[in-house]
């Protein structure tokens, strides 16, 4: 069985979505996402955004991102907000999910969710925040992707996974170097769900929110 890896930095993964930035060439095979990461935003980000729009036309591009907010690294928040809003609009127009990077910026995300009329489906990657924050997001089209933090039994990620609606769950390796199967194993134990059923659930979750389906 193939297990979807929502977000990975491994080029040309067998069944994952590689996180592509404008500087990278499109991989020769496999799925990918395309976005402007807040760490690397420049004043002339709109030029790079034009490249993202071109890349997004490729049928193997499944999502926009990662994009979002980071108060610890990156340009001023005004620039981050502008770039995020542009990418969110693109994701909405293309009916594609947006993969979110968010560090100490959840208030900016909530501000966007409450003020925007055209919301794409957002997947918060590497989620390891307080479950109380996650509960606030259930009123919006937001899902959660869990990674290596699930291997820490008392992590916020492990606690939220056990309460998170099944149709909002995704799993990922990010830059951990782990095999995606190990993440599914950890999640299946926490959820008391077989690895196979979890794999089918995650794939169904994807196909529900995106017009670019995964078989």
Read off the tokens for 201.
Answer: 């659930």
> Tell me, what's the pLDDT at 15?
85
Which fold would CATH assign to domain 5-209? TIM Barrel (3.20.20)
Read off the tokens for 56.
Answer: 């997004």
Query: What is the full per-residue pLDDT of the chain (215 aa) written as tens digits?
Result: 889 999 999 877 778 999 988 777 888 889 999 999 999 898 789 988 999 999 999 999 999 999 999 999 989 999 999 999 999 999 999 999 999 999 999 999 999 999 999 999 999 999 999 999 999 999 999 999 999 999 998 999 999 999 999 999 999 999 998 999 999 999 999 999 999 999 999 999 999 999 988 87
What lies within 8 Å, CB to CB, of 192 at 6+ separation is none
Counting every residue, how long is the chain? 215
d(CA 98, CA 16): 15
In tens, the pLDDT along 12-61 reads: 777 899 998 877 788 888 999 999 999 989 878 998 899 999 999 999 99
> Tell me, what's the pLDDT at 44?
85
What lies within 8 Å, CB to CB, of 28 at 6+ separation is 12
Burial class of 160 by CB neighbour count within 10 A (0 to 12, 13 to 18, 19+): buried
> Tell me, what's the pLDDT at 145?
98
- DSSP string for residues in 40-100: G--TTHHHHHHHHHHHHTSTTEEEEEEEEEESSSSS-HHHHHHHHHHHHHHHHHHT--EEE
> Tell me, what's the pLDDT at 213?
86
Nearest to 98 by CA among 164, 155, 156, 37: 37
Whole-model pTM: value is 0.95
> Tell me, what's the pLDDT at 21?
82
What are the boundaries of each domain within the chain? 5-209
d(CA 132, CA 177): 29
> Tell me, what's the pLDDT at 196?
97
177 in the Ramachandran plot: left (φ > 0), alpha (ψ -120 to 50) or beta?
A: left
Average pLDDT, the chain: 94
> Tell me, what's the pLDDT at 24?
79
What is the DSSP secondary structure assignment for residue 78, as one 8-state letter?
Answer: H
d(CA 83, CA 100): 12
- First-to-final CA distance of the chain: 11
12 in the Ramachandran plot: left (φ > 0), alpha (ψ -120 to 50) or beta?
A: left
């Amino acid at each position: 069985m193939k297990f979807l890896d929502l977000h990975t930095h491994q080029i040309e993964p067998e069944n994952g979505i590689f996180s592509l930035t404008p500087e990278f060439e499109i991989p020769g095979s496999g799925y990918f996402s395309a976005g402007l990461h807040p760490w690397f935003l420049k004043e002339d980000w709109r030029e790079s955004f034009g490249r993202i729009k071109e890349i997004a036309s490729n049928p193997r591009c499944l999502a926009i991102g990662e994009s979002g907010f980071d108060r610890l690294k990156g340009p001023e928040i005004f620039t981050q907000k502008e770039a995020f809003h542009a990418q969110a609009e693109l994701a909405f127009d293309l009916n594609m999910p947006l993969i979110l990077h968010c560090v100490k910026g959840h208030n900016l995300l909530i501000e966007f969710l409450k003020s925007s009329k055209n919301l794409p489906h957002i997947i918060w990657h590497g989620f390891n925040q307080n479950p109380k924050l996650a509960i606030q997001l259930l009123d919006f089209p937001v899902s959660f992707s869990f990674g290596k933090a699930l291997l820490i039994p008392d992590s916020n990620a492990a606690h939220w996974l056990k309460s998170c609606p099944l149709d909002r769950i995704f799993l990922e390796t990010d830059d951990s170097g782990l095999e995606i199967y190990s993440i599914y194993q950890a999640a299946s134990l926490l959820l008391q769900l077989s690895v196979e059923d979890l794999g089918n659930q995650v794939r169904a979750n994807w196909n529900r929110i995106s017009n670019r389906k995964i078989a």
